[in-house]
Amino acid sequence: MVRPKDQRPHVIVVEDEDFQRETLLDFLNENHFRTSGVDSGAALRKLVEKDPPALVLLDLRLPGSEDGFALARFLRERSRKTGIIMLTASGDTIDQVVGLETGADDYVAKPYEPRALLARIKAVLRRAGGAEAATTGERVRMGKCLLDLQSRRLVALTGEEIPLRSGEYELLKLFAENPNRPLSRDWLLETTSHREMEAFDRAIDIRILRIRRKIEVDPARPTSIRTVRSAGYMFVPPDD
């Protein structure tokens, strides 16, 4: 008899402190997640190859040569759909910004309230599902326009085509693939320009300004490509 595949989201907890790891695993199991726990970056890498997760709860400070930042980069390079939430005793704003820039979806300071953490986990999993849904079709609604991913065209809802520069299309495509996820200026610039960044390069802000003029109903009050303070920009799909 073939056993049915477990459809519960697989969540990996990366925590070197045994009690905290086991407590969190018990809580997640009680809330209908399939869970695994590891205590190091090396163990995480092995497990991810064998059993890819829907989401990783990642302690920032870990023993060994890899900290949470390095592991977040590894996870994000491997998959854009894996949810990443950093758990850390540090409330430092710089750590939070760096965590988001390395690919984390959220950042939770210890001690945390379990129910609040559960809500954040569900929110990140919804975003990850949205990323898949946003790119399964050929056209993505963005503000007052539709982005056609097959023909690389931007078309207004009224029917006329809106000219796009190559870099603008690449930027819009990244947003379409990552809805409701903060994307850092540096990552957007590096990914779309394929070159090393200059220290204070604001080219991405100029591109965003041009894009907003094309897709937003009111570019002065953008609702589609939103600014995320201290993080970068985020594409928010319309509700309708």
**CATH number (domain holding residue 192):** 1.10.10.10
pLDDT at res. 60: 84
pLDDT tens profile 37-65: 999 989 999 999 899 999 999 988 887 77
**CA separation for the pair 15, 38 (Å, rounded):** 6
pLDDT at res. 96: 61
Domain edge (last residue) among 65, 97, 132? 132
Give the chain's mean pLDDT: 82
What is the tally of structural domains in the chain? Answer: 2
The reply to whether 168 falls in a domain is yes
The reported pTM is 0.55
Q: What percent of the chain clears pLDDT 70, i.e. is strictly above it? A: 82
The reply to whether 5 falls in a domain is no
**Confidence bin at 11 (pLDDT 50/70/90):** very high
Looking at the fold, whether 114 and 142 belong to one and the same domain comes out as no
pLDDT at res. 98: 63
Q: What are phi and psi for residue 41, nearest 5 degrees? A: -65, -40
Looking at the fold, whether 185 and 111 belong to one and the same domain comes out as no
pLDDT tens profile 177-211: 888 888 888 778 777 764 444 434 567 888 899 99
Q: Is residue 211 a contact partner of residue 227, using CB atoms and an 8 Å limit?
A: no
Looking at the fold, whether 146 and 74 belong to one and the same domain comes out as no
Looking at the fold, whether 48 and 128 belong to one and the same domain comes out as yes
pLDDT at res. 196: 43
Domain edge (last residue) among 132, 161, 184? 132
pLDDT at res. 201: 54
pLDDT tens profile 104-158: 888 888 888 888 899 889 888 877 664 444 444 578 899 999 998 888 889 998 8
Other beta carbons within 10 Å of 49:
9
**CA separation for the pair 71, 16 (Å, rounded):** 14
Tokens in use for 71?
Answer: 């592991």
Give me the amino acid identity at 42. A
Looking at the fold, whether 109 and 201 belong to one and the same domain comes out as no
Looking at the fold, whether 34 and 128 belong to one and the same domain comes out as yes
Greater pLDDT, 102 or 78: 78
Range of the domain at 23: 10-132
For residue 98, the domain's CATH number is 3.40.50.2300
The reply to whether 204 falls in a domain is yes
**Confidence bin at 66 (pLDDT 50/70/90):** confident
The reply to whether 155 falls in a domain is yes
Domain edge (last residue) among 110, 132, 154? 132
